[in-house]
Structure 1
Amino acid sequence: MKTRLLKRVAATAVAAVLATTLGAAPAFAAKVIKLHHLNNDDPFDNPTGAMATVFKSLVEAGTNGEVTVQTFPNGQLGKDAEVLQQIKAGVVQSGIHSVGGFASAYPMIGVLDMPFAFPNISSTYAVFDGPFGDRLAGDIKARTGLEVLGFGDSGGFFAFTNSKRVIHSPADLDGLKIRTMGLDTHKTLVSSLGGQPAAIAWSEVYTALQTGVADGQMNPVPIVSFAKFDEVQKYLTLTQHLFAPYVWVINREFFDGLTPEEQAVVRYAARSAIVAGRGMARVIEASDRGLPHLAQRMEVYTPTAAEREAFREAAQPAVRKVIVERFGAEGEEMLDAFLAAIEATR
């Protein structure tokens, strides 16, 4: 009953957007945006599906079909790093990328990996929609040539899962093999808490957890549920230690070739789509496809404020050191601006 109600609420919200924006497109459109993302195109299934669907509707309606959007879900065009090269070359016009994939084009995205930094999920939106987000977008444009359309929600805060024990403190991670992305900051985070980081490709994570190659992993709750990790993991700890936004970019030459009116429509459509994706992430997280579902099969624990502080004190100095060593004075300045923007939301 609860799942059906949430689906009806979500369906009503998206239908309202579509009803006010759908328009007849002409048979031929001179400008086409090929949009890459890594998940299903179903707007009720995942945040990027919602983002892609709303973006397509708003762009095509707002330009009377002069600009059309072709979505390529489930990584059809390749992995994030590969597609970024296609976007730079203008073969693909736009993509919604994970920070892990985007690091191949812009390594300094790693400054966002400072753990236990955000007080709540609303603060993440304020930071990435505010002056710091503008600064980060400007730096990405300067270093990569890519125009940033915004920063989406990949599913919320990261949590730890494992098959061995409840995690109350860093000591409980001692010796656990934890799967991470291949990012130095993520690996340092795990090792600073006493765990053993294991960089494993996403396609191999379920099997690694099932066979014991890894004891645990870290991801947002919706991804834990979507990937069915509750089948091979017993414990879920809501540490809320990282927020990894999606980075949405578009080829700058293509964007500059749009009329000012079309550019305004594309930016408005992207902002609206990001809001829709954030809403869908929260709906999934709270629905029977998220935490309530996982709680039926896993032992869920939320650390106290004092326990989170112990995690923060153990992890932040180590990750900061890696960021400064890797990115130098520019990286440290960007990191300090990031932390100041977070502090301003408290």
Structure 2
Amino acid sequence: MSIFQKIASTAAATVAAASIAGSALAADITIRVGHLNPADPFESHSGAMAAIFKSLVESASGGDIEVKIYPNGQLGKDNEVIQQVRDGIVESTISSAGGIAQHYPLVGIFDIPFAFPNIAVASRVMDQRSEFGKKFCGDLEAKTGLKVLGMIDSGGFFAFTNSKRPIKTVEDMDGLKIRTMTLPTHKAMVDSLGAQATPLPWAEVYTSLQTGVADGEMNPIPIIAFAKFDEVQKYLSITNHVITPYIWTMNKDFYDSLSPEHQKIVDWASEVATESGRGVSRVIEASDRGLPKLAKNMEVNVVTPEEQKKFAAAAQPAVRELIAEKLGAEGTEMLDAMMEAIEKAE
């Protein structure tokens, strides 16, 4: 057994023990947390976040609070679970930008291609405690009535995969059917590069790639790896063209109903869990669960900085125009605030 496997085994045992202890104490309060990704804390950041949150909350509350985790989209599609949280049916969810967009369209500002120069800057800006994060999350809370517990990147920068050819230049995108989330900004980005955007819900992506409904897709390395897209895709092109948030929310009425002591536990546990999720994403990217694993089955290429500039020149104007058109003055203002925050973070 490798060191990585031993750590995973120990972590799983710890979480299981905490779960059993919490159940044995017959908790007075239950927090149900849904997310799209695998439950294994070493396969996805949201899996790690949920597992760590459960362990910390249950132990710190002395069994007063039980956390039940529903991974792999068990509660429904992303946007549906967010609605369940808004309605008070479920207490909390960790959601992709695609799900959030249907409740808070301004999340589309993150889709400006090549806005973030590196992951360090993205982590500084894409954080609910940063100056920009407080502004963004505060606006989201005001418009949706949700309580934001955390904001984290979706697993790293997006890369393109496809079954037809390596993507080294903008011209290589021509005619490819690329699956996107149901985000107008993602559609505008892909179409502007000469490909054909094919919006599909997450549950349909693997089969669509397998059957040729879509030639390719775009996602961070950890998501490509745990979704096993290397089984149905031949080429992986590292473009680092966009990075989007995952946003962790809770029903505000439920949060307000907690005692100050329990609120404090939820606050610090979600903060620790979110920071741990960032680290897990970086580990997955670099480990045999990430890029090295994919490279065994896929042809991998890295798009040069010179070509990245051409991608940006082709895609940025279309996305900016769409943000101004669809999101209006408040969208443009939020975008400008993000770009200013990126410049400061550099």
With the shorter chain as reference, the TM-score category is over 0.9
Match of 1:120 in 2: 118
Residues in 2 aligned to 1:19 and 1:71: alpha-carbon distance in whole angstroms: 15
The answer on 1:323 being equivalent to 2:329 is: no
Give the equivalent residue in structure 2 for 1:336: 336
Instruction: Using the TM superposition, name which of 40-49 and 317-326 deviates more.
Output: 40-49
Q: Which amino acid aligns with 1:106?
A: Y
**Counterpart residue number, 2:174:** 174
1:41 aligns with 2:28: no
Whole-Å Cα distance in 2 between the matches of residues 31 and 297 of structure 1?
A: 46
In 2: Cα distance, 1:284 partner to 1:164 partner: 26
Unaligned runs of 5+ in 1: none
The one of 71, 89, 92 aligned to 1:91: 89
SS at match of 1:149: strand
Question: Contact between 1:31 and 1:67, CA under 8 Å: does it hold in 2?
Answer: yes
Q: Is the 8 A contact 1:18 1:54 kept in 2?
A: no
Q: Given that residues 6 and 287 in structure 1 are in contact (C-alpha distance below 8 angstroms), is that contact kept between their aligned partners in structure 2?
A: no
Q: Name 1:56's counterpart in structure 2.
A: 54
Q: Which runs of no fewer than 5 residues in structure 2 stay unpaired?
A: none
Whole-angstrom distance in 2 between the partners of 1:168 and 1:238? 9
CA offset at residue 23 of structure 1? Answer: 7.6
1:102 is matched with 100
User: Within the alignment, does 1:253 sit opposite 2:253 as a pair?
Assistant: yes
The 8 Å contact of residues 151 and 246 in structure 1, kept in 2 or not, is answered as yes
The Cα shift of 1:281 comes to 1.4
1:5 positional shift: 3.4
Q: Map Cα deviations across residues 66-110 of structure 1 (whole Å, 9 max, x no partner).
A: 222111122222212211222112121111111111112111111
Which residue identity does 1:211 align to in structure 2? Answer: T
Distance 1:232 1:41, change over 3 A: closer
CA distance in 2, matches of 1:151, 1:173: 31
Name the stretch that deviates more: 64-73 or 105-114.
64-73
Are 2:22 and 2:66, in contact at CA under 8 Å, matched by a contact in 1? Answer: no
Q: Is the 8 A contact 1:47 1:153 kept in 2?
A: no
Which aligned pairs between 1:1-346 and structure 2 lie closer than 5 A? 4-8=2-6, 27-129=25-127, 130-346=130-346
Deviations 1:224-269 (A, max 9, x none): 1222222222211111111122110011111111122221111110
Shift of residue 213, structure 1, vs aligned partner: 2.3
Cα separation, 2, equivalents of 1:293 and 1:26 = 40
CA distance in 1, matches of 2:85, 2:188: 31
Distance 1:165 1:232 in 2: 13
Distance 1:25 1:227, change over 3 A: closer
Residue 188 of structure 1 deviates from its aligned partner by 0.5
Change (3 A) 1:76 1:210: closer
The one-letter code of the counterpart of 1:96 is I
- CA–CA distance in 2 between the matches of 1:277 and 1:302? 25
Structure 2 CA distance, aligned partners of 1:282 and 1:250? 26
**CA spacing shift, 1:229–1:25, aligned 2, 3 Å:** closer
Tell me the alpha carbon deviations over residues 140-187 of structure 1, each in whole angstroms, 9 at most, x when there is no partner.
Answer: 110000000011342211100112222122111111111111211000
Deviations along 1:191-240, one digit per CA (max 9) or x if unpaired, are 11111111123222223222322221111112212222222222111111
Structure 1 residue 26 displacement after superposition: 6.9
The answer to whether the Cα contact below 8 Å between 2:27 and 2:64 also exists between their aligned partners in 1 is yes
Work out the percentage of aligned pairs sharing the same amino acid. 55
Closer/same/farther in 2, CA of residues 77 and 14 from structure 1, 3 Å limit: closer
Question: Would the alpha carbon gap of residues 204 and 29 (structure 1) be closer, same or farther in structure 2, given more than 3 Å must change?
Answer: closer
TM-score, with structure 2 as normaliser: 0.93
Sort the Cα spacing of 1:43 and 1:125 in 2 relative to 1 into closer, same or farther, 3 A: same
Equivalent residue letter for 2:175:
G
1:30 partner letter: D
Is contact 1:147-1:249 (8 Å) kept?
yes
For the 8 Å contact 2:34–2:69, the answer to whether it is kept is: yes
